[in-house]
Structure 1
Amino acid sequence: MMGTNNQTTIIKETGNNKQSPQLSDDTGLSIGSVKDLKENWQKWTHEHREYQEHNPFSHNTRPTAAVPQKGQDTYGRPLVGSMTELRGKDAHSNISREVRQLCEVIRDIGEPRDKDGAGDGADDDGKVMSVHFGKLFEHYVTISNKVVGILLRARKQGLVDFQGEMLWQGRDDHVVITLL
């Protein structure tokens, strides 16, 4: 055996006891004769063509399945039962768990305040739990480094409220976050 450029020369005996050299590469494909080269090429092109028919980013194929149009219930959603759908469900449950955990932390370290913002320490009707962003950030950053993103998600779900579009550590430490 001799080898150059990831190819190995194999001496193959044919039926009439003549030896003909064949090349074999890392894929295990035998590329000794022109006929073998042609067969390997045809096999590869057939496999590639089949792959491209199922590739959604290929421009030279027509979709084999009906593509949902805007306004349909399935538009912008992964196929039912696909790995993408499973990953999306897992991500959703993880984010929901983190939002619940953040609300529990606010409830634990927060102070009861009137809905208008004045706090007297009592937890009566008309009171909400509130915490300053700086205090929440310092406490929650040991749990997760995605404090701001989780706060934005919780506000989108209507669980917390705070002033401003985005909170920044240091600059917005005085912003009050209210658990609704």
Structure 2
Amino acid sequence: MNVEHEVKLLVEEIQRLGTKNGDGQTTVKFGVLFNDDRCANIFEALVGTLKAAKRKKLISFEGELLLQGVHDNVDIVLLQE
């Protein structure tokens, strides 16, 4: 698994599914990303890819780990377009 490639794909999917917030940053709810069919086919481990992108300071979200159902309304913010 190529983490760099998966992170790049994640950024593209956030751009596709997200909307611009007041600061001009693209944001998407975790539930929208998790439940999207295209994302489900691309990412084997979406949560792991999100953590890798967060470590690279490409995205931000509250908390350390996002779980389906519990964190569906958590915003994922794209820090670098």
Relative contact order, higher structure (CA 8 A, sep 6+): 2
User: Helix, strand or coil: the match of 1:103?
Assistant: helix
Aligned to 1:102: 10
Structure 2: give runs of 5+ residues left out of the alignment: none
Aligned to 1:135: 32
Residue type of the partner of 1:114? G
User: Kindly, what percent of the aligned residue pairs are identical?
Assistant: 38
| Aligned residue pair count | 77
Residue type of the partner of 2:54? R
Distance of 1:144 and 1:150 partners within structure 2? 8
Q: Which runs of 4+ in 1 moved over 2 A?
A: none
Q: How far apart are residue 175 of structure 1 and its match?
A: 0.1
Distance of 1:145 and 1:101 partners within structure 2? 12
Distance of 1:100 and 1:164 partners within structure 2? 22
Q: How far apart are residue 145 of structure 1 and its match?
A: 2.5
Q: Cα deviation per residue 1:138-161 (whole Å; 9 max; x = unaligned)?
A: 121222231000000000001000
Q: How far apart are residue 114 of structure 1 and its match?
A: 1.6
- Give the aligned CA root-mean-square deviation in angstroms: 1.0
- Whether 1:166 aligns to 2:74 is no
Q: Which has the higher helix share?
A: 2
TM-score by length of 2: 0.90
